[in-house]
Amino acid sequence: MTTPLPNKSVRGSSSGVAIMAVFDLLGRKWNMRILWELRSNSLSFRALQARCDGMSPSVLNSRLKQLSEAQLIISSTQGYQLTELGVSLMTTLDPLRNWATQWETELKT
């Protein structure tokens, strides 16, 4: 499976528009979960697998490769961690997280 990147055809769009590549990348199963788990600290492969409900090693390996190719994560001696670009993405998503919390509250009333 190829990594969705800007200026390349992605699922749902042949235009190569960057936002469509982001939607494709983040919409792939497990990618957002991996980024979420790495948002505050580095994790080893095993720790990341455990936090992601024990997903198979082959799937985790595939997703880590995609996110690395997209330059959102890197592997270091401390484990996997977000790059500056990955941190920037997670910061950009904070308003959406806040909205989701508000939405959850509204649905409870």
**Does residue 1 register a pLDDT over 70?**
no
Q: What is the pLDDT of residues 3-15, one digit of tens each?
A: 877 767 777 777 7
pLDDT value at residue 94: 92
Please give the single-letter amino acid code of residue 57: P
Single out the residue of 98, 93, 67 nearest to residue 81, CA to CA: 67
Single out the residue of 92, 27, 39, 93 nearest to residue 66, CA to CA: 27
Q: What is the pLDDT of residues 23-79, one digit of tens each?
A: 889 999 999 999 999 999 999 999 999 999 979 999 999 999 999 999 999 999 999
What are the structural domain ranges in the chain? 18-108
Give the helix/strand (H/E) hosting 52.
Answer: none
The CA distance from 70 to 95, in Å, is 22
> Would you state the CATH architecture of domain 18-108?
Orthogonal Bundle (1.10)
The CA distance from 20 to 67, in Å, is 16
The CA distance from 7 to 56, in Å, is 31
Query: Taking the C-alpha atoms of 22, 23, 27 and 32 in order, what is their torsion angle to the nearest 10 degrees?
Result: 50
Phi-psi region of 74 (alpha: psi -120 to 50; beta: other; left: phi over 0): beta
